[in-house]
Amino acid sequence: IFMVTAPIIQQGVEVTLPSVKAEALPGKEEQFVVSITKDSQIYLNDAKLSADDLTDKLKAIANERPDRQVFIRADDQVPYGQVIRTMAAIKAAGIENVGMVTEMPTDTGNKGAK
């Protein structure tokens, strides 16, 4: 599991990402992004799916490209358990490369503080 920052992945599903201090990873190819909205709706890119449907779709992707990466964008209001269940659905599909998308924190005037 790794984290990436939002500038590499922009999707149409609206979520408020948690903020962390981490560098953005460069994007290489078409991204598969699983978004979880604050009302716990799951999307694969822009398509709304159930957890079972998500696993089925990702199984087809994993059969074609087992090294494929999937990124999770979860609203910061989503309960931790929902994020873990979604990760389990992705892993059940055979996807091993799962990344978490976060937002870079804004500078709050603490210049020089690390």
Spatial separation of the C-alpha atoms in residues 33 and 41, rounded to whole Å: 13
Structure tokens at 26: 């460069």
- pLDDT exceeds 70 at position 103: yes
Q: Average the pLDDT over each of 26-30, 63-67, 88-92 and give the range with the smallest value.
A: 26-30
Whole-model pTM: value is 0.68
Please, which pLDDT band fits residue 51 given cuts at 50, 70 and 90? Answer: confident
Contact of 71 with 30, CB cutoff 8 Å = no
- pLDDT exceeds 90 at position 108: no
Average pLDDT estimate for 35-43: 94
Please, which pLDDT band fits residue 101 given cuts at 50, 70 and 90? Answer: confident
Residue with tokens 């981490």: 22
Average pLDDT estimate for 33-48: 94
Q: What SS3 class is residue 41?
A: coil
Averaged pLDDT of the chain: 78
Contact of 100 with 78, CB cutoff 8 Å = no
β-pairing verdict for 42-44 and 32-36:
antiparallel
Q: Considering only CA atoms, which of 26, 80, 90 is closest in space to residue 54?
A: 90
Could you tell me the residue ranges of all domains in the chain? Answer: 2-102
Query: What is the per-residue pLDDT for 18?
Result: 64
Amino acid occupying residue 10: Q
Q: What is the chain's alpha carbon radius of gyration, rounded to the nearest angstrom?
A: 14
Query: What is the per-residue pLDDT for 114?
Result: 44
Q: Which CATH number fits domain 2-102: 3.20.20.140, 3.30.420.270, 3.40.50.620, 3.40.50.300?
A: 3.30.420.270
Comparing 67 with 17, the larger pLDDT belongs to 67
Spatial separation of the C-alpha atoms in residues 68 and 4, rounded to whole Å: 16
